[in-house]
Amino acid sequence: AQSVTQLGSHVSVSEGALVLLRCNYSSSVPPYLFWYVQYPNQGLQLLLKYTSAATLVKGINGFEAEFKKSETSFHLTKPSAHMSDAAEYFCAVSNFGNEKLTFGTGTRLTIIP
């Protein structure tokens, strides 16, 4: 069985401040972990992924995430928020041999000017 928990359904940060979106996973085997972003009235776009190579993963738009096995976490960060980062962010998990992608409930990020 696999699952992800996203802490905080809504996060607000000031423009230029650090963005931190939290994701914890549960998986009985080594996981593949993903962050997706959804802008209003659009589909989901892959931000970054962890597939057992480097534990610090860099994605698009300046985002990065660190896989921490001891904490079963895969938190998403960005050093300096931009207005264009306002969107909903989803953490997701799958694993080798399991083609199903399981999503968290999402975190809506608001940027305060």
Partner 1 sequence: NAGVTQTPKFQVLKTGQSMTLQCAQDMNHEYMSWYRQDPGMGLRLIHYSVGAGITDQGEVPNGYNVSRSTTEDFPLRLLSAAPSQTSVYFCASSSDSHYGYTFGSGTRLTVV
> Which residues contact partner 1 by CB under 8 A?
9, 32, 34, 36, 42-46, 49, 51, 90, 94-106
Query: Smallest distance, Å, CB 67 to partner 1?
Result: 13
Q: Residues 67-99, buried b or exposed e (16+ Cβ, 10 A)?
A: beeeeebbbbebeebeeebbbbbbbbbbbeebe
Residue 70 DSSP code: T
- Cβ distance to partner 1 smaller for residue 84 or 100: 100
The smaller minimum CB distance to partner 1, of residues 14 and 52, is found at 52
Query: For partner 1, which is the closer residue by CB, 22 or 49?
Result: 49
For the CB of residue 24, give the shortest distance to partner 1 in the complex, in Å: 14
Q: Is the dihedral of CA 19, 25, 29, 31 positive or negative?
A: negative
